[in-house]
């Protein structure tokens, strides 16, 4: 599924990496705990999280995660967007809950890590 | 090749800058992306530990054709029981650290999972030294 379809399905807003809208998403992991995210070995992963701070972007950089969806109306700061741009990470802001976001994407065919 | 970085205890906005630098260096050296991920995840976990628990720290990195060796030396409270600290789920992290998405007692076990060698030495009231190595040729 392309990122632009993800954005449409979630009625969301892309705040970084607009030029990557045609990138494909396949696997998704949802967590607010960065310690958990750092244990995932899968590459090119999409992360759903309600944790919006600089360490969310840093964790994604180290874990080769290039797509982040912030749920529960959480917003990325300018500093987070800057770091995401430096690392070619797509940032999406979504007003839905984590459960609803994950449910929509799972139903649409995106795969869990385990 | 030898590199050194400083870590500021408590400064979460800078946590991960050394790991980020190392990732760029390893990419330039054409190191296998799977190895890069293991190295930077292990260093990032260790860097976050220093920021979360210590007052100040230094990172020493040596890269040769066979392996990457990393040593983190911090000045801080130290670890009273290393065996306990290595157990998944054991944590002494502050609420501030947990708010950043860490402090679940998974750092040291995850460093162990991502490295080929890991040694932790600590003196209570002085600080902790973490040495790790990842082999480039299996």
Print the domain residue range for A75: 3-112
Q: How many domains does chain A have?
A: 1
Q: What is the pLDDT of residues A18-76, one digit of tens each?
A: 999 999 999 999 999 999 999 998 877 999 999 999 999 999 999 999 999 999 999 99
User: What is the pLDDT at residue B122?
Assistant: 94
Q: What's the pLDDT at B96? A: 85
What average pLDDT score do residues B17-39 get? 95
Q: Does residue A39 belong to the interface with chain B, where contact is any CB pair within 8 Å?
A: yes
What's the confidence (pLDDT) of residue B138? 64
Q: Has residue B114 got a pLDDT over 70?
A: yes
Contacts of B12 in chain A (CB under 8 A): 53-55
Structural domains of chain B, ranges and CATH numbers in brackets: 2-135 (3.30.565.10)
Q: Average per-residue pLDDT in chain B?
A: 93
Task: Please judge whether A32 and B37 are an interchain contact, meaning their C-beta atoms are less than 8 angstroms apart.
Answer: no
Environment class of B84 (CB within 10 Å of its CB; exposed 0-12, middle 13-18, buried 19+): exposed
Number of cross-chain residue pairs from A and B with Cβ atoms under 8 Å apart = 65
B113 touches chain A (CB under 8 A): yes
Instruction: For residue A70, list chain B residues with Cβ-Cβ distance below 8 A.
Output: none
Indicate if the pLDDT at residue B137 is higher than 80: no
3-class SS at B53?
helix
Both tokens of B29, joined, read 């050296």
Cα angle A106-A112-A113, degrees, rounded to a multiple of 5: 165
Alpha-carbon distance of B40 to A4, in angstroms, equals 30
At which residue do the structure tokens 């045609």 appear? A22
């Amino acid at each position: 599924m392309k990122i632009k379809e993800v954005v449409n399905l979630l009625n969301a807003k892309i705040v970084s990496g607009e030029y990557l809208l045609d990138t494909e998403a396949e696997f998704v992991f949802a967590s607010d705990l960065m310690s958990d995210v750092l244990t995932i070995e899968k590459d090119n992963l999409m992360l759903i999280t309600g944790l919006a701070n600089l360490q969310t972007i840093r964790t994604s950089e180290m874990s080769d995660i290039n797509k982040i969806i912030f749920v529960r109306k959480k917003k990325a700061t300018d500093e987070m967007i800057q770091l995401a741009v430096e690392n070619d990470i797509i940032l999406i802001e979504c007003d839905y809950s984590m459960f609803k976001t994950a449910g929509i994407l799972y139903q649409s065919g995106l795969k869990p890590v385990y | 090749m030898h590199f050194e970085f400083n870590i500021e205890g408590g400064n979460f906005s800078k946590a991960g800058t050394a790991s980020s630098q190392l990732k760029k260096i390893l990419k330039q050296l054409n190191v296998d992306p799977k190895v890069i991920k293991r190295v930077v995840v292990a260093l990032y976990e260790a860097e976050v530990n220093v920021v979360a628990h210590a007052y100040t720290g230094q990172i020493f990195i040596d890269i040769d054709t066979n392996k990457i060796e990393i040593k983190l030396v911090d000045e801080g409270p130290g670890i009273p029981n290393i065996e306990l600290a290595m157990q998944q789920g054991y944590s002494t992290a502050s609420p501030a650290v947990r708010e950043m998405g860490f402090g679940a007692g998974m750092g040291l076990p995850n460093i162990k999972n991502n490295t080929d060698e890991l040694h932790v030495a600590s003196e209570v009231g002085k600080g902790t030294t973490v040495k790790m190595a990842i082999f480039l040729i299996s």
